[in-house]
Amino acid sequence: MQKATKNRSETGDFIAFLIKLGLFVLILRSFIVSPFNIPSESMQPRLMVGDFLLVAKWPYGYSKYSMPFSAPVIPGRILPNRPEPGDVVVFKAPPSARDDYIKRVIGLSGDIIQVTDGLVTINGVSVKRTKVDPLIHKVSPNSPCYKPEFETINADQEAVCRYPQFEETLPNGKSYKILDLEPNSAGDTRGPFVVPDGHMFLMGDNRDRSADSRWPAEDGQAIGMVPQENLVGRALVSVFSTDGSAEWINPVSWFTASRWERIGEGF
Name which of 143, 146, 218, 222 is nearest 187 in CA terms: 222
Are 90 and 55 a contacting pair, CB within 8 Å?
yes
The contacts of residue 24 (CB under 8 Å, 6+ apart) are: none
Residues in the chain: 267
Catalytic residue among 63, 103, 213, 241: 103
The rounded distance, in Å, linking the Cα atoms of 143 and 133 is 19
- Residue 103 annotated to the active site: yes
- Residue 131 annotated to the active site: no
CB atoms within 10 A of CB 95: 11
The rounded distance, in Å, linking the Cα atoms of 143 and 154 is 16
Handedness of CA 108, 218, 229, 31 (dihedral sign): negative
Catalytic residue among 42, 63, 140, 213: 42
Helix (H, G, I), strand (E, B) or coil at 128: strand
The contacts of residue 163 (CB under 8 Å, 6+ apart) are: 44, 45, 134, 135, 136, 146, 150, 179, 181
Residues carrying an active site annotation: 42, 103
